[in-house]
């Protein structure tokens, strides 16, 4: 015996309410299994399946937004959080739609926003300006510096192009140059090898080249074509690779921004405590926890570096500063 339309509408409204609770995701899936298009009469199958799909999509979108919110929950650049969450949700939506071009663009926009934020901060600009003409940390087999930091960041073999760009401010550099600066000073904190640096940059450059796969107009260079043609046959892997790249980028930058470093000198080492005089005049005593078992092995007058969490001020690490012995 059929039910009247009003009763059925109330039933749909009730299902709507149930579907909004993530604990009822199984119920939505079961609806789809039981009343899929093959099991419903043609006269009502389209409407019912459309409704079920809408409910399912709503639930999935809500779960993804929760994941995005949790992913960026503790990200220290809070003025970017809202936009980063939106781009994360778009990224996951395009992944489910198997839309690789828009997926790459959404991932790239998160990396780009974070990179540009740094390149507009005066502290980062000052750091770049103060060190750009120094010999880089990379050395050849003979131990000689390979290049200046500026040559590392403005990565071109064309002398004319290099000369044109080397006087530009950081904010006016190309994205690939900005991201090389961020990799060197923030991601690796100036401590890496050329191979490791270039490997990480290569991954980011792949994303950089893929961001406009769906963009019409403009010819790609042979260099760009080579990268894209190698990626597209394996794009199912690059969904994972680019997601992992984003996770690593966000994590390393979060760690960098969460730490601050102070210097000091050990003034006394006792069996129960280590006493430190900080360069800013403060006194510090370490007498418990894992760090105590590390610093008690140091000696009086040792110079040390103390690393703290910028947010909680908790000591993360203490390490000895190696100094050259005087003859």
Give 224-240 pLDDT, tens digit per residue. Answer: 888 888 988 999 999 99
Q: Which two tokens mark 126?
A: 């000052």
Sorting pLDDT into bands at 50, 70 and 90, what band is 317?
Answer: confident
Phi, psi (deg, nearest 5) at residue 172: -95, 0
Mean pLDDT, to the nearest integer, of 79-91? 95
| pLDDT at site 316 | 81
Determine the Cα–Cα distance for residues 249 and 117; give it in Å rounded to an integer.
Answer: 14
Determine the Cα–Cα distance for residues 179 and 121; give it in Å rounded to an integer.
Answer: 14
Determine the Cα–Cα distance for residues 73 and 67; give it in Å rounded to an integer.
Answer: 10
pLDDT tens for residues 159-210? 888 999 988 999 899 999 999 999 999 999 888 889 999 999 999 999 999 9
Mean pLDDT, to the nearest integer, of 8-18? 71
Mean pLDDT, the chain, whole residue set: 84
Q: Which two tokens mark 68?
A: 């995005």
| pLDDT at site 116 | 95
Highest mean pLDDT among 6-10, 175-179, 311-315: 175-179
Sorting pLDDT into bands at 50, 70 and 90, what band is 323?
Answer: low
| pLDDT at site 326 | 43
Full set of structural domains in the chain with CATH: 8-71 (no CATH), 106-257 (no CATH), 261-320 (2.40.50.140)
Please report the DSSP string for 1-65 in residue order: -PPPHHHHHHHHHHHHHHHTSGGGHHHHHHHHHHS-TTTS-HHHHHHHHHHHHHHHHHHHHHHHH
| pLDDT at site 92 | 95
| pLDDT at site 191 | 86
Mean pLDDT, to the nearest integer, of 212-216? 71
This prediction's pTM:
0.69
Please answer whether residues 184 and 152 qualify as being in contact, where contact means their C-beta atoms are separated by less than 8 angstroms.
Answer: yes
| Radius of gyration of the chain from its Cα atoms, rounded to whole angstroms | 28
pLDDT tens for residues 275-311? 999 988 889 999 888 888 888 889 999 999 988 876 5
Sorting pLDDT into bands at 50, 70 and 90, what band is 220?
Answer: confident
Determine the Cα–Cα distance for residues 159 and 188; give it in Å rounded to an integer.
Answer: 27
| pLDDT at site 281 | 87
Highest mean pLDDT among 24-33, 86-95, 249-258: 86-95
Sheet holding 259-269, edge to edge: 283-286, 274-278, 259-269, 303-309, 315-320
Determine the Cα–Cα distance for residues 208 and 206; give it in Å rounded to an integer.
Answer: 5
Residue with tokens 């966000």: 250
| pLDDT at site 4 | 65
| pLDDT at site 42 | 46
Q: From the CB of residue 125, how many other CB atoms can be counted at a distance below 10 Å?
A: 16
Q: From the CB of residue 33, how many other CB atoms can be counted at a distance below 10 Å?
A: 9
| pLDDT at site 137 | 78
pLDDT tens for residues 101-153? 999 999 999 999 999 999 999 889 998 999 999 888 788 777 788 888 999 99
Which residue did the predictor score with more confidence, 12 or 217? 12
């Amino acid at each position: 015996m059929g039910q009247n339309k009003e009763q059925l509408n109330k039933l749909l409204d009730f299902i709507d309410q149930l579907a909004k609770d993530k604990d009822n995701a199984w119920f939505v899936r079961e609806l789809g299994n039981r009343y899929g298009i093959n099991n419903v009469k043609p006269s009502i199958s389209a409407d019912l399946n459309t409704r079920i799909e809408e409910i399912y999509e709503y639930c999935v979108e809500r779960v993804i937004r929760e994941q995005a919110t949790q992913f960026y929950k503790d990200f220290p650049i809070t003025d970017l959080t809202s936009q980063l969450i939106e781009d994360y949700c778009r990224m996951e939506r395009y992944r489910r739609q198997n839309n690789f071009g828009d997926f790459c663009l959404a991932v790239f926009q998160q990396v780009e926003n974070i990179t540009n934020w740094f390149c507009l901060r005066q502290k980062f600009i000052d750091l770049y300006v103060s060190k750009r003409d120094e010999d880089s940390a990379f050395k050849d087999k003979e131990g000689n510096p390979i290049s200046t930091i500026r040559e590392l960041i403005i990565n071109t073999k064309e002398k004319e192009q290099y000369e044109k760009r080397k006087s530009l401010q950081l904010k006016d550099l190309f994205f690939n140059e900005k991201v090389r600066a961020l990799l060197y000073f923030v991601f690796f904190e100036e401590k890496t090898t050329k191979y490791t640096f270039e490997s990480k940059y290569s991954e980011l450059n792949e994303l950089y080249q893929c961001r406009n796969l769906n963009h019409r107009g403009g010819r790609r260079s042979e260099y760009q074509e080579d990268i894209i043609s190698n990626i597209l046959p394996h794009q199912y892997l690059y969904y994972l690779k680019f997601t992992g790249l984003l996770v690593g980028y966000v994590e390393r930058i979060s760690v960098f921004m969460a730490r601050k470093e102070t210097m000091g000198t050990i003034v006394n080492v006792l069996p129960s405590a280590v006493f430190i005089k900080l360069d800013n005049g403060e006194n510090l005593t370490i007498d418990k926890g894992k760090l105590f078992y590390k610093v008690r092995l140091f000696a009086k007058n040792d110079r040390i570096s103390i690393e703290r969490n910028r947010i909680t001020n908790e000591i993360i690490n203490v390490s000895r500063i190696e100094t050259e012995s005087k003859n």
